[in-house]
Chain A
Amino acid sequence: MSTVLDDLSQVIPGGHVDLPTHKTEEYRFTPIARALEKAFPNGFVSGPKKEISSIDEFLIPGLDCSVIKIVDGVYDGTPAANPSGDVFDQLNARLSKGVLSIHASEKPVLILNINTGSTSLHNRFSIKVEAGASLTIIERTINLSSSPLFQTLSEEIEVGKNARLDFIKIQGTPNIIEVCNTSITQEDNSHVNTFTLLLEGILVRNNLSIAIDGEHCESHFHGLSLLNGETIGDHHTVVDHKKPNSFSNELYKGVMDGRSKGVFNGKIFVRPHAQKTNAFQSNRNILLTEHATINTKPQLEIWADDVKCSHGCTTGQLDDEAMFYLQSRGIGKEDARAMLLYAFALQTIEYVSIAPLKAYIDSLIQKRLYAK
C-alpha cells in the first residue's frame, strides 16, 4: 500500500479504510485513489504555513455579509481590541487566539475556508435554519499553500418550517482533491435554492443529498461546471421526496474543455406517500474537445403514482450553425464561442437573487469563458 493511503488508514478508527476504486459503482468514473497517490507521492506532508495578509481578495465585491473565517480547520476570529482596564481582560486580549464574534442578522454568511500550509484538511459544519428564518450561505475554499490539498468537507443543514436557504458553493481552488458531502433536510413549506459553481481542481466530487421531508416545499438545485485542463468534476445528487405536494427542480450544466472529465449522477426518489410530487431534472453538457468527456446518469425511482417527474440529459458540441451566424456578422471565432457558452451557462444562475453575488458569479463565468 502506498504512503498516502497508509496515512489515511491511520486516521480511521480500526486502522483501515477502503477507498473507492474504479470497481466501486458510486465512484466508477472518479478515480480518487489514483489522484491522491499522484498528488501526494510522499504522503500528507505539511509545508511552511503562509501568512494571511488580507482576506479582501476572497470577499465578494459589494456584498454586505458576515464572514466566518476558518483557517486550517480552526475558527479564526479577528484579534481582540479595546480591552478594559482589568488586568485579566488585558491578559486575555493578548493571549486569546481571536475573538469569537456572533452577529445575528439576515445578512448572507460567507464561509472562507482557508488552508495555509497543510496538505490535508477536514471540516464539518452543522447548520440549522430555524422555522421562519432565512439564510444565505456562500462557501469557498482558498489554498494558500503551493502544495496540493486533499480536503473533505461534510455539512449537515436543516431547513425548518417556512424557512428559506440559499446555498452557494464556489469551487475555484486549483490543485485540490476534494470530496464534499452536503446533506440538506427540508421541513414543511421550506424553500431551498442551491448553486454550485465548479471551476478548478484536480478532482472534485460533490455529494449533494436533499431530503424533502415536508409538504409544500420548493427547491431548485442548480450547478455549473466549467472545466478545463485535466480537472475531474463529479456531481452526485440525491433528491428524496418523502412527503407529498412538493416541487423540486434540478438543473446541472457542464462545459468541458481540454482533457477534463465531467460526471453527473442524479437520483430522484419519490416515496410511496409522496403523492402530487413535481420533480424535474436536467443535465446538459457541451464538450469542446475530442479529449473531454462526460458520464451522465439519471436515476429515477418513483413509488408514488400521482406525480409529475421528468429527466433529460443532452451532450453535444457547440452548434456550428449558431457559430457561423455570429461570425457572419463580424464577431470573431473566440468571442462567438464565448457568447454561445455564456448564453448556455447563464440559465444556471437564475435563482441567485442577491445582486452583488450574482454579478460576482457572472464575472467568474465570463472570466473563464472569455479567457482565451
Chain B
Amino acid sequence: MLKIDNLQARVAEKQILNGINLEVKAGEVHAIMGPNGSGKSTLASVLSGREDYEVTGGSVNFMGKDLLAMAPEERAREGVFMAFQYPVEIPGVSTINFMKTALNQIREHRGQPTVDAVSFLNLMKEKVKLVEIDQSLLNRSLNEGFSGGEKKRNEIFQMAMLEPRLAILDETDSGLDIDALRIVSNGVNKLRSKNNAIIVVTHYQRLLDYIVPDFVHVLYKGRIVKSGTKELALELEAKGYDWIKNEMASV
C-alpha cells in the first residue's frame, strides 16, 4: 500500500529526515516511536502534504502512485488521512457541514454519487457511536472551544466518516486522560480492517496497549534505527530512549 524509499526532508533549512525506508501493507498497524525531535511529526506532515516541509530526496509510493506529487486534498481523496496532533479550531464552519463537503468531494473523486442530507445524517449517527462523541458538538463550529479529548475524538470521528485506506495518527494520545485514551483507541480498533492500514506516531508506549501494532519502528535523528514487533515498544518503555541513543553513539 505504502512504500517509503530513502525519504529525506527539511523544514526551514533544517534537515530532519535523513533517509526513511518503510513499507506498510494493507491490514497492518505500524507504530513509529522515537524521542522528541527525532522526526516523527515531520514524517507525518510530509506524508499528508504540509507545505512548509521540503522533500529533498527519496520517494513515497501510495497504491501505485507518487504520493509526493499530489496536493494535500488529492492525497485525502486517494485515501490518506491524518489525525492531527493539534486539530485546528475553525470558527463559523460546523463539523457537519465540513464533513459533508469533504465526504462528497472524496466520493466525487472516486466516481461515487454524492450523498444527500438524509443519508449523510444517518451515516453520521452510525459513526458518532464509534467515538462516543456528543452529536451536539458536531453542530458547533469545528473544534472551537472543544476540550483536548473532544478534539481527538473528533479526529477519529472524521476518520470513521471518510474511511481512509491509510490513517496516520500523529500523537493522538497527547493530552488525553485514560478514559479518553480508551475511547479514542476503541474507535480506532473498530476501524481496523484487512483493507486499510494505520501508522501510529507516538512518544509513549501506553497508546500501544490499546492499539496493538504489528510492527514497531524507532526513529532517531531522521532514520529508522530499529524495527521489531510490539515487544520492542515494551523494551523501549523499560530501557528508555537513552538506550537507543547510547547504542547509536557506539556504532
Contacts and interface: CB of A to CB of B under 8 A. Distances in A.
Interface of A: 319-322, 324-333, 335-336, 339-340, 342-344, 346-347
Interface in B125-142: 141
Contacts of B93: 326, 339-340, 343
B110 to A, nearest CB: 10
Given A328-B48, A329-B162, A333-B71, A343 B91 contact: yes
A344 B75 CA distance: 27
Contact of A327 (B76, B87, B99, B158): B76
Given A320-B51, A335-B101, A339-B101, A328 B92 contact: no
A324 to B, nearest CB: 6
Given A326-B102, A328-B76, 10 more contacts: A319-B88, A324-B88, A325-B84, A326-B93, A327-B72, A327-B76, A329-B158, A330-B109, A331-B105, A343-B90
B73 interface: yes
B105 A343 contact: no
A330 B49 contact: no
A137 B91 CA distance: 30
5 contacts: A320-B51, A324-B50, A325-B90, A331-B73, A343-B93
A346 B101 CA distance: 18
A320 B72 CA distance: 13
Given A324-B50, A324-B72, A339-B93, A329 B88 contact: no
Interface of B: 48-51, 71-73, 75-77, 81-82, 84, 87-88, 90-93, 98-99, 101-103, 105-106, 109, 141, 158, 162
Nearest to B93: A343
A329 B79 CA distance: 10
A354 B103 CA distance: 32
Contacts of B99: 329
Contacts of B75: 328
Nearest to A339: B93
A320 B88 CA distance: 10
A325 to B, nearest CB: 4
A251 to B, nearest CB: 14
Given A329-B76, A329-B162, A340 B102 contact: no
B90 A347 contact: no
A286 to B, nearest CB: 13
A319 B87 CA distance: 13
Given A329-B76, A330-B77, A339 B162 contact: no
Nearest to A321: B88
Given A325-B90, A343-B91, A332 B51 contact: no
A331 B106 CA distance: 8
Contact of A330 (B88, B105, B141): B105
Contacts of B76: 327-330
Given A331-B105, A343-B92, A347-B92, A324 B51 contact: yes
B168 to A, nearest CB: 10
A333 B73 contact: yes
Nearest to B108: A330
A340 B84 CA distance: 19
A322 B88 contact: yes
Contact of A344 (B51, B88, B92): B92
B139 to A, nearest CB: 14
Contacts of B82: 328
Contacts of B50: 324
Contacts of A332: 73, 105
Interface centre among B76, B103, B141 (most CB of A within 10 A): B76
A56 B87 CA distance: 47
B73 A346 contact: no
Best-buried of A322, A331, A333, A340 by chain B (most CB within 10 Å): A331
B250 to A, nearest CB: 40
B92 to A, nearest CB: 3
B71 A329 contact: no
A327 B71 contact: yes
A331 B107 CA distance: 11
Given A325-B87, A339-B98, A330 B106 contact: yes
A335 B105 contact: yes
A331 B88 contact: no
Nearest to B161: A329
Nearest to B92: A343
Given A339-B93, A343-B91, A346-B92, A327 B73 contact: yes
A174 B59 CA distance: 50
A157 to B, nearest CB: 31
Contacts of B73: 327-333, 336
Contacts of B71: 327, 333
B162 A330 contact: yes
Contacts of A329: 73, 76, 81, 98-99, 102, 158, 162
B49 A328 contact: yes
A325 B89 CA distance: 10
A281 B73 CA distance: 38
A320 B73 CA distance: 14
Contacts of B87: 325
A146 to B, nearest CB: 38
Contacts of B98: 326, 329, 331, 339
Contacts of A325: 84, 87-88, 90
A344 B102 CA distance: 19
B69 to A, nearest CB: 15
